[in-house]
């Protein structure tokens, strides 16, 4: 399939401009510009709903070389706004390929921009922080004027969460997954452990969740600022000590808020597949897949109630917590990977053990 290409420019809110060529959907768009250092797994990254409302920069110089397949979708309808890269493969070459990258972006109405200096762009974002950008064929002055009118979305979880409950049947523990922007890889890991899964919208009440008689509750990943999610935090607070809880990424931040912690926006976030994380108890180092622009404030953790379990080696940010008395824990990284290393997969097994211990406690009073 032939896909048109034409001149486009990325205009950042501070006035820096990058010239390139458009591919995929040839529209114009404003959004938060973020970068990922992942060297593979571009399809999973593009379809990760945590990139909702963002223009995704790939630091790896070539993407699209294996095309798009049916297996590596983390959501069916991705909501990232744009893909920005140095170059992309016009023709993917893999036996599982269903279509090429440009055709996929066109079908999903995602803007593509190639031919720019992504190293310069990434260094600029690292130095000055994540900022708004506008991809367009307009003049720089017109583009900046339009960008100044852009207002980012406030409650992004509402855009990506399922609207209706749905099951993913199994024969083992019943797990209710609260969908804040769920990656399909989380469901795959629960399915591998034969869990009987029920996925519910982010608006589901604690009473409704408990009415399904879950053995555990999974809090999924998702986009946006956790501080605007007051109702979701209240639901989690009501579930504490009622059922075992495991939070991932956004789920980690919301659990932390429910436990009285605070969060902050990072300068440029963690997005990539090689973030080293130390498990404090054992000293074990895991390389992890991450995608987040907010983090839990270390000094807000009540050490009498909450155990700090994991820290990021590069910058010391909080990567995992566990309540000292309630069956609840969470991590900032993605143990489900997809893409990324599998170092953290054991955390799903720890969740299974937590649910088993909780059931044993209930059985014996």
Examine the pLDDT at 2 and tell me if it is beyond 80. no
Q: Choose the catalytic residue: 25, 195, 249, 261.
A: 249
pLDDT score of 5 more than 80:
no
Q: Look-up: residue for tokens 């639901």?
A: 235
Does 362 or 303 have the greater pLDDT score? 303
**Phi and psi, residue 16, nearest 5°:** -70, 135
d(C-alpha 97, C-alpha 16), whole Å: 37
User: What b-and-e string marks burial along 100-113, b requiring 16 or more CB atoms within 10 Å of the CB?
Assistant: bbbbbbbebebbbb
Bridge partners, 247 (sequence order): 219, 330
Q: Which of 1-5, 127-131, 351-355 has the lowest mean pLDDT?
A: 1-5
| 334 assigned to active site | yes
- The structure's pTM equals 0.95
What's the whole-number average pLDDT of the chain?
95
Tell which residue, 74, 78, 75, has the closest CA to residue 53.
Answer: 78
- Determine which one of 100, 196, 336, 343 is catalytic: 336
pLDDT in tens, 213-267: 999 999 999 999 999 999 999 999 999 999 999 999 999 999 999 999 999 999 9
117 included as an active-site residue: no
Task: Reduce the DSSP state of residue 210 to 3 states and report it.
Answer: helix
What pLDDT, on a 0 to 100 scale, did the predictor assign at position 205? Answer: 98
What value does the mean pLDDT take over residues 292-307?
A: 97
For 130-149, the pLDDT digits (tens) are 999 999 999 999 999 999 88
For residues 347-362, average pLDDT: 91
User: pLDDT-derived band of residue 3, with 50, 70 and 90 as boundaries?
Assistant: very low
Residues of the chain with CATH 3.40.50.880: 157-363
- Helix/strand/coil percent split, the chain, to 5: 25, 30, 40
Farthest-apart Cα atoms in the chain, separation: 71
CATH code reported for the domain at 157-363:
3.40.50.880
Question: pLDDT digit string (tens) for 85-101?
Answer: 999 999 999 999 999 99
Domain 6-148 matching CATH 3.40.50.1240: the answer reads: no
Location of each CATH 3.50.30.20 domain in the chain: 6-148
Q: How many CB atoms lie within 10 A of CB 41?
A: 20
**pLDDT of amino acid 67:** 97
């Amino acid at each position: 399939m032939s896909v048109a290409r034409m001149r486009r420019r990325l205009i950042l809110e501070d006035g820096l401009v990058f010239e390139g060529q458009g591919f995929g959907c040839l529209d114009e768009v404003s959004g938060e510009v973020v970068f990922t250092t992942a060297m593979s797994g571009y399809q999973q990254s593009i379809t990760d709903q945590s990139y909702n409302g963002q223009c995704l920069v790939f630091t790896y110089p070539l993407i699209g070389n294996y095309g798009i397949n049916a297996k590596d979708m983390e959501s069916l309808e991705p909501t990232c706004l744009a893909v920005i890269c140095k170059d992309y493969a016009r023709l993917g070459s893999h036996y599982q390929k269903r279509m090429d990258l440009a055709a996929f972006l066109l079908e999903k109405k995602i803007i593509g921009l190639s031919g720019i200096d992504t190293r310069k762009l990434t260094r600029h974002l690292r130095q000055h922080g994540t900022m708004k950008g506008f991809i367009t064929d307009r003049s720089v002055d017109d583009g900046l004027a339009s960008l100044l009118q852009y207002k980012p979305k406030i409650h992004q979880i509402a855009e990506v969460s399922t609207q209706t409950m749905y099951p993913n049947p199994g024969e083992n523990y019943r797990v209710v997954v609260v969908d804040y922007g769920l990656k399909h890889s989380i469901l795959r890991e629960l399915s591998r452990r034969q869990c009987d899964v029920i996925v519910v919208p982010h608006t589901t009440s604690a009473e409704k969740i408990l009415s399904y008689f879950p053995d555990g509750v999974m809090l999924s990943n998702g986009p946006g600022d956790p501080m605007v999610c007051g109702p979701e935090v209240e639901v989690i607070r009501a579930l504490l000590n009622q059922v075992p809880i495991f939070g991932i990424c956004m789920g980690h931040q919301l659990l932390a808020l429910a436990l009285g912690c605070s969060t902050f926006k990072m300068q440029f976030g963690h997005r990539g597949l090689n973030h080293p994380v130390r498990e404090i108890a054992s000293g074990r180092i895991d390389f992890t897949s991450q995608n987040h622009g907010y983090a839990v404030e270390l000094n807000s953790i009540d050490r009498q109630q909450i155990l700090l379990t994991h820290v990021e080696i590069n910058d010391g940010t909080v990567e995992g917590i566990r309540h000292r008395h309630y069956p609840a824990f969470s991590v900032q990284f993605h143990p489900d990977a997809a893409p990324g290393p599998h170092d953290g997969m054991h955390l799903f097994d720890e969740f299974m053990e937590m649910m088993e211990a909780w059931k044993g406690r209930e059985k014996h009073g």
